[in-house]
Structure 1
């Protein structure tokens, strides 16, 4: 994992989270879309010893939004969901925060030793470009494909 400096407290970030209306922004995440994304995660895990987790959140927890950003939340979830708890430290968490328009990939040390942070960043940037064009599901499916190929 790459270490980052702690985020600055932000009233703007807290305000964005407080006024965010999930119903207006998450219509794309239907039961069928969730099933397709779940199937794609399963497919991305085939052919290697890594584990892939996808977490899509509407917004940061309100009680923490002032002091944390999406990257910190992704690292917290990496720990909370024990993504690191694989035999060869080969877990990868993909975190999407809809309100913040952000996507982060947190890879365990068994993978980070072999994959440059610039590769992860390029994958995030590509997916975010698709998300910005209102292609949420397709962008995430393509990203999960790329992660599966990279892990193989």
Structure 2
């Protein structure tokens, strides 16, 4: 995982963040929906040595929105939440930005040696399509399941005595 410096400064992106009204867009993320997604993360982590981490954010931080796009924000959060800090470098961050209608997957170098960026991109596009059709929770649950299946394919483990390296709780950044 290498941070790209490809973000272009964008006054339009900054304005979208400033004008974004969270209560109009994130009504679907109720405490019950967050609990169900947390359970989906737990299910996605069964049967393999990987770690799955889900972050949902209303909008980019205003102070960074001019120069930072969703991909770079996801990479920053991958580092901040230490998703990279797993024993076999098999952490996968799923980042959803509600304001930008974007979803990014950042995979650590262990799993990236097995799964091409094209596969991750296709998974993102499928989930974003479902989100656009007002099936946000269902689309994220399906994406979590797909990520879990990929991790099982390359890092299968029938019994995981070491347990979780990262929390399964969905992180919601307002």
| Superposition TM-score tier, normalisation by shorter sequence | over 0.9
Out of 1-10 and 40-49, give the one that drifted further: 1-10
Identify the residue that residue 29 of structure 1 maps to in structure 2: 29
Query: Relative contact order: is structure 1 or structure 2 higher (C-alpha 8 Å, sep ≥ 6)?
Result: 2
CA distance in 2, matches of 1:7, 1:35: 33
Cα contact 1:2–1:117 (8 A) shared by 2: no
Contact 1:96 1:102 in 2 (8 A): yes
Deviation of the 1:3 alpha carbon: 5.2
The 5-angstrom pairing of residues 91-102 of structure 1 reads: 91-102=91-102
User: Number of aligned pairs?
Assistant: 152
Which residue in the other structure is 1:129 paired with? 129
Give CA-to-partner distance per residue, 1:61-116, whole Å, 9 cap, x none: 00000000000000000000000000000000000000000000000000000001
- Give the Cα–Cα distance (whole angstroms) in 2 for the partners of residues 45 and 77 of structure 1: 20
CA distance in 1, matches of 2:51, 2:6: 27
Helix, strand or coil: the match of 1:110? helix
The Cα shift of 1:53 comes to 0.3
Shift of 1:5: 4.1
Q: How far does the alpha carbon of each residue in 1:92-150 deviate from its partner, in whole angstroms, 9 at most, with x for none?
A: 00000000000000000000000011000000000000001011000000000000011
Structure 1 residue runs of 5 or longer lacking an equivalent are none
Residue 2 of structure 1 and its aligned partner are, at CA, apart by 5.5
Q: Is the 8 A contact 2:53 2:92 kept in 1?
A: yes
Q: Give the ranges of 4+ consecutive aligned residues of structure 1 lying more than 3 Å apart after TM superposition.
A: 2-5
Unmatched tracts of structure 2, length 5 or more: 153-174
